[in-house]
Structure formats: structure tokens, C-alpha cells
Amino acid sequence: MSKINAAIAILRNSSDITREEAVSRFVAELNMNKGQAKQYYASAMAKIHEGVETVIAAPTSTVVEESEDAVMTRIGERFDIMDAMTQAVVEGVVRSMIVVGPPGVGKSYGITKKLEEANLFNMMQGDIRYDVVKGATTALGLYAKLYEFSRDGDVLVFDDCDSILMDELSLNILKAALDTNKKRYIHWNSDSKLLAREGIPNKFEFKGACIFITNIKFDTIRSAKLRDHLGALESRSHYIDLTMNTMRDKFLRIKQIAMTGELFKEYNFQNGEQQEILDFMIENQNRLREMSMRCAVKIADLRKTMPEKWKRTAEVTLMKNAF
């Protein structure tokens, strides 16, 4: 294996490695001095950034890197499907959808935007037909929220509300709400002051739909009991994995959104600032605390407000092991 391919392999196999750690490993493992190691680090990062198909020779197998265009096409197709399925949920064709992907890549934004567009007329009339539930909620709170949005055409979005996905009682309620039977009834067979105070019955028919946005891949759950419940929920839903499993995938999604003009629209960049931000992110991908659109916006804030020292400020405030 050539030294440049070995350097690329080290960087790919250690997603959280810092520049200093990479240089030290190159010196130790690739038999080079520190100056050479720094040059190899820059070259390896450039090749990864360019999306060049790099073949790493091995005694029994060959690994071919997916090209940048192929990655963006794959990810873009998944988001297009997510948008189409959200519309199907709004129209009542689909009862439930589960969207799985890393944080900060536009899952919530795309779904909420589609729901706002579909409900614009209703909202003008004061008739709210959807809600986004964030954070933690109890099984009783879930029951009450489902009752509030139980009409035909109502949509509930659970955005990173993972407490309901880790709770057996909540999952049983969701299974009833999203059952494949023509009529879906949900029961709460325990006394509750909350339900009595709010005038919520112990049984009602749910005609609405649900969307779950989560970072949790269902097949990684260790609890056998929870896996069974989640499997039952998955069987009642359309399940979309956005397939962004690497730092490079996340960066290319950010680049994809930036290329549409949406990500940095409010900043009115005119002189290549957008490309500077993207270059900075890919060059420091293993040092950034997170690779996300939120991170890109934070860097854009710095680029706009302190053009002379934005890079150093980003190193201190957004990177691991800042020096």
C-alpha cells in the first residue's frame, strides 16, 4: 500500500482523530518525519475532500470510495422521498413515517416546511392541523396529545422525542394509534385527574397520522423487549434511513444544501465566503465537535461578524482539543 493511501486509511478509520494525532501516527506508522507527516495529512485530506475514487490495495479485497456526486445523489434521493412521503402523510395516504438520520442535517426542517405549506390555509383560519412534539413526554401526555390531534387530516410530528420510543406503555399506545385496522381506538384504562380535568375520554378513535424523527436506528437497540415493540411500530410505518453514516456523508449533505443557496441565504455572502466555510469544515472535519448545518451556521456567524479572526475563533469555540 502506498503511503498516501495508508494515510487516507488512517484518517477514514479514525473519525475522531485530530490533526496532531494523525501527524503522530503517520510518523510512527509510516516511517516519516514530522514535516513529511504534515504534508501527507494535507494531501490525504484534500483527496478525501475532492471525493476522488481511491483504491486501497489489500491482499484479498479492494475498497473503492463512493464518488462525491454519487454520495450527494444517494442522499438527495432519500430527502426527496422523505418530502414526497410527508405529503402523502398530509393527504392521509400514509398513517405513519419514521425518519432516521444524524442530527443537524435537515430532517426536521424539510418535514416542518412541508407541513407548514400544506396547512397554510388552515392556519389562516385558526385551525391548527399539526403539531411538533420535542423533548420528553410521558405515556399519559402522549395519550392526551393524540386525542388533541385525532381528527382525519391531523398530523403529529415527534421530533427527537425518544422517550416515547424507549417506553413500553407509550409504544403500546402508538401501536394502537397506528394499527392497520380500518378503525383505530386507543384506551386509557386507569384513573387520571389530568384526563378528567381536560375532558379527555378513556377511549377515542384516532384518525390522524404520525411522523417520527429520530437519531436512533431501531436495529441497534439491545433490549429484546423494546426491539419487539419497535419492530411492531416499524411494521405499521414507512421507515426511511437517510444513510448518512460517515463524516463525509454529513459534510456532503451540508454542501448540497449550501449549493441551493438556502443555507447561507441570510448572510448575503458575495466574495467566496461560502466556499471558505465549506473548505474550513472539510479540512477540520475530524476536529469539529459536530458536522451539521447548525455548525455551518455558527461558522457563518463568525465569518460575517469577525472576518479577520473567524478561523481562530471557530477553532476555540467549535473544535475538540483546541490549541
How far is the CA of 58 from the CAs of 9, 10, 20, 47, 55, in angstroms? 12, 14, 27, 19, 9
**Measured between alpha carbons, how far apart are the two ends of the chain, in Å?**
33
Residue that the C-alpha cell 441497534 belongs to: 220
How confident is the model at residue 172, as a pLDDT? 97
d(CA 102, CA 245): 8
How confident is the model at residue 21, as a pLDDT? 80
The residues, ordered by sequence, that sit 6+ positions from 295 with a Cβ below 8 Å of its Cβ are 104, 281, 288, 289, 318
Provide the pLDDT confidence category of residue 15 given band limits of 50, 70 and 90.
Answer: low
How far is the CA of 313 from the CAs of 267, 303, 307, in angstroms? 18, 10, 10
d(CA 319, CA 95): 41
Of 108 and 128, the one with more pLDDT: 108
Decide if 9 contacts 1 (C-beta within 8 A): yes
Nearest-10 crossing angle of helices 34-50, 3-13: 70
Of 124 and 276, the one with more pLDDT: 276
What's the grid cell of residue 46?
484534500
pLDDT per position as a tens digit, 230-251? 999 999 999 999 989 899 999 9
pLDDT per position as a tens digit, 29-85? 777 887 777 777 777 777 776 654 444 444 455 557 789 999 999 999 999 999 999
Short-list 179, 172, 129, CA closest to 151: 129
What's the grid cell of residue 319?
473544535
Q: Where are the alpha helices (DSSP H) in 150-191?
A: 168-177
